[in-house]
Structure 1
Amino acid sequence: MYLIKTPKFIQELFPNFTWKIPSEDKVVYLTFDDGPIPGVTPWVLEQLAQYNAKATFFCVGNNIEKHPEVFEQVRAGGHSIGNHTFNHLNGWSSDNLPYFHNIRHCANLTKTVLFRPPYGKLRPRQTQFLLRHYRIVMWDVLSGDFDPNITEEQCLLNVTRNVEPGSIVVFHDSLKAEEKLRYALPKALAYFAEQGYRFEALNEQEMIVHQDQRKSA
């Protein structure tokens, strides 16, 4: 069970997480989890380049170590990088200290304070600790590209029907999601381009400033 559109009451329950970027402009923030993966991530980069689109890649550290050349392609494309733990760990089923070490291991590779917990799952004490060191990025719209029980068409509709200005959208540059991703991503890019949207990467420094402002408000 998962939610395609994150309800506002959930976003308000966890105000220290970044769910979307407030904007009056037509801008959407595409994010890709679980890479880098040969064949999949380079294809994503090609699709983005056709629209001069920038995105954010929440990378698994183990995949960075296995595929450093693909990781460098992401960086060279001018995209933002995020931390998705070293071994794609579920915070709910992980002891705190090993979980923190796993995240730090990945941080040594990504060199970023942007962090997205796999499955969006964190324990309260994990959250408290991580917020002192990272900017926790969740999402406003989940494509569902990982779900074998939905169609390619539904995956696309999950995105096109729910994006608003400033939405953070989750896709996966993984083998599990590849089939639906190859269908939905080009069509989503074309759709939002026709609607006058631009595609931007999450800006680490701007997010730090924004979060500090929210804390002091």
Structure 2
Amino acid sequence: MRTKVIFIVLFLIVFSATQAEASVFRDTRENYEKTGNVIWEVNTKEKIVALTFDDGPHPIFTPQILDLLAKYKAKATFFAAGNKVERFPEVLKRVAKEGHEIANHTYSHIYSSRIPAEKLKEELLKTDSIIKNVTGRQPTLYRPVGGMHNDVIIDTAIKNGKTVILWSWHMDSKDWSRPPAGKMSKQIITGVKPGNIILFHDWIGSEYTETSQTVVALEDILKYLIKNGYECVTVSEMMYRSSNTLPEPIDPYNLNKKQTGL
């Protein structure tokens, strides 16, 4: 009898935990987008895209990226980690001075979808404070670490005044896996379309790394975009200039009619 009771208790604990975890993911991308608080890309006919860089600032690569952006008269959005900003505030000051957007990417880059609401709030507020002290401006945009999102993460971000920015899924450069620069640039160049949010990282590896395939690929990508009439703007500007931030509806009977990037 005692064994049976123990089994039932253990079952209920496991079942409750499973249900709680499952309930976290109750909404679809479509429903999240309808709120206007979660953005993957925007619906626009203007040839504009948003280049985004996560995890920095990096003492070597972020300045190199800034040099390229200046060369091609492009603007970008940098999702900065608070602990990196503390270490390299002068780099972030340059990002702000050159007219790029700075957004929140948490303080310590906790890679988990199960981050408690209070911990995430602490991470967001701490990073907001650090960025504001360095640049004089508080971020309004936030990108979850690894793109992980659920009701807890999104609701916490919204309650703390943030719009959640993800990226066009086909526009992940995957530079975090360190592919050859040519492979990276080819993926972006062949799949890009107006309204895309493109994902890069300005921090990969340690601060002592001397080369970045992201930097090498970025110049080819910028050359292509400018040559083909694209303008690289910040995420906020692209949202502002778009009459509708939702992607075009998918035709389930003719998915080959247009690329959706979903």
Bin the TM-score by the shorter chain.
Answer: 0.7 to 0.9
Shift, 1:154, TM fit: 1.5
1:23 pairs with 2:44: yes
Q: 2:204 & 2:174 partners in 1: Cα distance?
A: 14
In structure 2, C-alpha distance between the alignment counterparts of 1:191 and 1:90, rounded to whole Å: 33
Structure-2 residue corresponding to 1:147 = 177
What displacement does 1:109 show? 2.5
Q: Structure 2 vs 1, CA of residues 172 and 18 (structure 1 numbering), >3 Å: closer, same or farther?
A: same
Aligned residue for 1:108? Answer: 129
| 1: CA distance, partners of 2:153 / 2:200 | 24
Is 2:72 aligned against 1:39? no
Which has a greater percent of helix? 2
Number of equivalences = 202
Give, in angstroms, the shift of residue 123 of structure 1. 3.2
2:55, 2:202 within 8 Å by CA — same for their partners in 1? yes
Deviation at 1:210, TM superposition (A): 7.2
How far apart are the structure 2 equivalents of 1:27 and 1:68?
29
Name the % identity: 30
Match for residue 99 of structure 1?
120
Alignment check: 8 A CA contact 2:76 2:101 kept: yes
Gaps of 5+ in 1: 1-9
Match of 1:4 in 2: none
Go from structure 1 to structure 2 and tell me whether the alpha carbon gap of 1:173 and 1:205 turns closer, same or farther (over 3 Å shift).
Answer: closer
Q: Deviations over 1:3-53 (max 9, x none)?
A: xxxxxxx74253141111221111111011111111110000000001111
Give the equivalent residue in structure 1 for 2:257. none
What stretches of structure 2 of length at least 5 have no aligned partner?
A: 1-27, 132-137, 247-262
Comparing 86-95 and 153-162, the one that deviates more: 86-95
**C-alpha distance in 2 between matches for 1:45 and 1:199:** 13
CA RMSD of aligned residues (A): 2.3
Alignment partner of 1:202 out of 219, 235, 238: 235
Contact 2:117 2:156 (8 Å CA) reproduced: no
Mapped to 2, the partners of 1:104 and 1:122 lie a distance apart of 18
Pick from 195, 213, 217 the counterpart of residue 166 of structure 1: 195
1:83 CA displacement: 0.2
Distance (whole Å) between structure 2 residues aligned to residue 44 and residue 88 of structure 1: 21
Q: Cα distance, 1:95 vs. partner?
A: 2.4
Q: TM-score if structure 1 supplies the norm length?
A: 0.85
